Amino acid sequence: MSVLRPGDGEFARKVLEALGDEVEVIEGLCCGQPGFNSGFRDEARDVARGALRVADQFDQVVVPSGSCTSMLRHYLPMLYEGDRREAATARVERFSEFVSYVANHPERASLRFALDGVVAYHDSCHGRRELGITGTVKDLLRSVDGLEVRELVHEDECCGFGGTFRVKQPEVSRLMAESKLRDMEATGAQVLVSADLSCLGHLEGIALEDGRDIETWTVAELLGRALV
């Protein structure tokens, strides 16, 4: 996020502070997923160790990206053995995916969101299959007054990014992205929203190459724009 969408960190901060939280934005922190997916487990553990150290400093670390959250909560502990794995498992409980954190916050009812417009919703693989937040995201988007959310016909299909898959299988990755973009265009929406910025970065890049006129927003951006 610090590289691709630095402004989204501020949108997330805006929403969290509206909930009454004291927020510090941590920039440049990596979950270790690129190395992990490429088979460099030792290097991934070295990178992710920085995330664990950060977690010790806060009550919660809110992550506005499904894939990063999934890496931290589900895969990072696998990089350790024995007692160290148990310790890592306990520490990663402090990492929370942004949408889930907002939706389950005790002050959630105090927030009101309003934004006139039409958006299409892209459900990421990590969000759907590993974090199980599809329903949570949809409910939160439906709570935005004036917003019409249109679902994709092939909502459960991958966008084709898959991290290193985009590099290793560029032709297949592009075809999958183009299919997802056609699905979006069929809804008539100009804005594509997702809880995973990795997917949006991939789809936005392909759209720009193809000359498609669309916008991509993370849920953090949408809620930041819609906060009343």
Q: What is the pLDDT of residues 50-108, one digit of tens each?
A: 888 888 899 999 998 889 999 999 999 999 999 999 999 999 999 999 999 999 999 99
> Starting at the edge strand that comes first in sequence, how are the strands of the sheet with 114-121 ordered?
145-151, 114-121, 191-194, 215-218
Q: What is the pLDDT of residue 51?
A: 87
Q: What is the pLDDT of residue 141?
A: 96
Query: What value does the mean pLDDT take over residues 189-195?
Result: 96
Q: Please name the helix (run of DSSP H) or strand (run of DSSP E) that holds residue 9, with its range, or none.
A: helix 6-18
Residues of the chain with CATH 3.40.50.11810: 110-226
β-bridge partners, 63: 97
Tell me: the pLDDT tens digits for 2-58?
788 888 989 999 999 999 999 998 877 889 998 998 899 999 999 988 888 888 899
Find, among 67, 62, 121, 124, the residue nearest to 94 by Cα. 62
CATH class of the structural domain 110-226:
alpha beta
Tell me: the pLDDT tens digits for 112-159?
999 999 999 999 999 999 999 999 999 999 999 999 999 999 999 999
Phi, psi of 96 (to 5 degrees): -125, 135
Question: Is pLDDT at 186 greater than 80 in this prediction?
Answer: yes
Task: Enter the pTM of the model.
Answer: 0.92
Residues in the chain: 228
**What does the alpha-carbon distance between residue 20 and residue 42 come to, in Å, rounded to a whole number?**
39
Cβ neighbours for 109, distance < 8 A, ≥ 6 positions apart: none
Find, among 50, 126, 118, 65, the residue nearest to 96 by Cα. 65
